[in-house]
Amino acid sequence: MAHETPGRAEDQTNHALTYLALSLGLVWLVKHLVSSRAPANIPPFPAKPYPIIGHLPYFKNGLKDQLTAWRKSTGEIFSVYFGPNLVVILGSHGVLHQAFVKRGDTLSDRPLSVAAASRGRDINRGIVFSSGRVWKEQRSVSLQILRSFGLGQNILAAKISEEVSMFLDSLSKLFGEPTDVRMLIKSMVANNLCSIVVGQRFEYNDERFLTLLHKMSEMFRLGQSSGMCTIFPWLSRLPGDLFNSRARFQVYQYILDQYCYHYIEKTKNEERDLTQDNFIFAYLQEMKKRQQQGQDTTLDEDNLALNVMNMFAAGTDTTSAAISWFMLAMLHYPDVQEKIFVEISEVVGLDRAVTMHDRAKLNYTQAAIMETQRFFVSPLGVPHKASKDTIINGYTIPAGTTVMACIHNIFHCQELWKDPDQYRPERFLDADGNISPPEFFTPFGIGRRVCPGESLAKMELFLVLASVIQRFELRPTTPDHLPTQKPEIGMIYFPQPYQIRFVERR
């Protein structure tokens, strides 16, 4: 009984919100139908948009093929409507460079994030979804810390190498049996971030660690359906949580409270010396320094918590996907696997672990990693937003417009790459066998928003993959029935679940 009154009041509020949302939707629809006119001089549309939902129905079979077809029919820059939101798609390295490098001053903000949409307000915090002054300071401090870890004795490489050896032991314990190792890969990648960010690694079967991985996956999964709320923010205020935006927000808040803030508190309360080598500690030191000097700073614990969350979210799936694709590629292209193994045996041998000092001499191995990132690239980059009207290729991109790179168009462009639909690591080597990636190979983005984890990710991909091939031969379960190379569709493309065997080379 005690709960009846608040429950009824909540119901009434929900109904009022539903009516309000539907009325606003109706007003918008009428307005759209009566005077549907796009802003002047924007990049061309490849097809007529539908009322309200814009071009979304064209993507019913996935983004990749439709965007490739429109790149061919409409050109290197075109406009689409994601619901009512105008989105400009950049489909060549030339326009991408113009937009994010030359006009990076006005095209480096972020649009409203999913997290913000589910909260119904903007949260200009952390690195990934922030803009302006907050973003600049958070990004520069985070980069400064990551760079300092990669210098000198290279703390990053030491932490990754320690994790790699645990990962190899886990693969060895599979005794060559067919296994889906995607979860193991994610655990290893997330653990690397735990050591770097929090200063602690976990056993792969640790309950707390497994809960974190589970919650992160859930957040991504719910993010797929709550993505509609980024396009139509009012959907998140409808009763029933049809698009999971509130469920996603709860998971998001759980990770923030139980992990990000928890480890900040733990770090603050621990007696530590100044040689501590984790991100949280280094950030808190810098924060204290700026505050003591009386600087007007955005460094605070809320931003730090979001930075920690951002690094996990931005660094786990991207890196895990690249590793999973590489292992799948080794099943499809055993000649490539053999060449990598021969190179590693000649340069490193089989008796000691691969280190970062070996990278400069393992050109073919590096080329195969790059080819994997090119060949299996996800179609769209992270959205940017125009802070002011900006001219690109003679077209106007109005302030507030979302701008996205279609990386797949660039990485599979016939004019840039010979046989783009063939997996061929040699394309990244020059005539002398030296590694020579072209400037249009930009898996980590370009311009002011370029991935701050690029060096870390490259280090990780190299150390993990070279070490795996040095120790194991990667074999399919049934050689005449290889797993598909078609992706599991999401913002980040993953291989569909597949079984693989890790057979010790000796």
Q: Which residues are annotated as a binding site?
A: 451
| CA 65, 116, 79, 238 torsion-angle sign | positive
Q: Which of 344, 456, 463, 464 contacts ligand HEM by CB under 6 A? A: 456
How many Å apart are CA 499 and CA 177, to the nearest integer?
9
DSSP H or E segment with residue 475: strand 472-475
Nearest to 259 by CA among 223, 311, 205: 311
**Residues 6 or more apart from 298 whose CB is under 8 A from it?**
133, 134, 137, 138
Stretch that binds ligand HEM, among 156-164, 217-225, 250-258, 311-319 (CB under 6 A): 311-319
How many Å apart are CA 71 and CA 421, to the nearest integer?
16
Q: Which of 54, 199, 425, 453 contacts ligand HEM by CB under 6 A? A: 453
Asked if 231 is part of the footprint of ligand HEM (rule: CB under 6 A), the reply reads no
The H helix count followed by the E strand count for the chain is: 16, 10
Stretch that binds ligand HEM, among 210-218, 249-257, 310-318, 332-340 (CB under 6 A): 310-318
Write out the two tokens for 332: 């499809």
* Residues binding ligand HEM: number (CB under 6 A): 22
**Residues 6 or more apart from 437 whose CB is under 8 A from it?**
370, 428
DSSP codes of every residue in 364-428: HHHHHHHHHHHHT--SB---EE-SS-EEETTEEE-TT-EEEEBHHHHHT-TTTSSSTTS--GGGG
Asked if 465 is part of the footprint of ligand HEM (rule: CB under 6 A), the reply reads no
Min dist CB 223 to ligand HEM, Å, is 16
DSSP H or E segment with residue 286: helix 279-292
Asked if 194 is part of the footprint of ligand HEM (rule: CB under 6 A), the reply reads no
Binding positions for heme are 451
The phi and psi torsions of 80 (rounded to 5 degrees) equal -140, 160
Q: Which of 118, 187, 298, 318 contacts ligand HEM by CB under 6 A? A: 318
Stretch that binds ligand HEM, among 47-55, 175-183, 202-210, 450-458 (CB under 6 A): 450-458
Query: Per-residue x/- mask for ligand HEM, residues 107 to 146, rule CB under 6 A?
Result: --------------------xx----------x-------
Q: CA 315, 191, 470 angle in degrees (round to 5)? A: 90
Query: Per-residue x/- mask for ligand HEM, residues 63 to 82, rule CB under 6 A?
Result: --------------------
Contact criterion met (CB below 8 Å) for 229 and 236: yes
Asked if 362 is part of the footprint of ligand HEM (rule: CB under 6 A), the reply reads no
Query: Per-residue x/- mask for ligand HEM, residues 19 to 58, rule CB under 6 A?
Result: ----------------------------------------
Residues 288-307 that bind ligand HEM (CB under 6 A): none
Min dist CB 112 to ligand HEM, Å, is 14
Asked if 220 is part of the footprint of ligand HEM (rule: CB under 6 A), the reply reads no
DSSP 8-state class, residue 490: S
Min dist CB 215 to ligand HEM, Å, is 18
Asked if 381 is part of the footprint of ligand HEM (rule: CB under 6 A), the reply reads yes
Q: Which of 21, 99, 348, 451 contacts ligand HEM by CB under 6 A? A: 451
Write out the two tokens for 216: 């992160």
Residue numbers at the binding site for ligand HEM (CB under 6 A): 127-128, 139, 310-311, 314-315, 318-319, 322, 381-382, 443-445, 449-453, 456-457
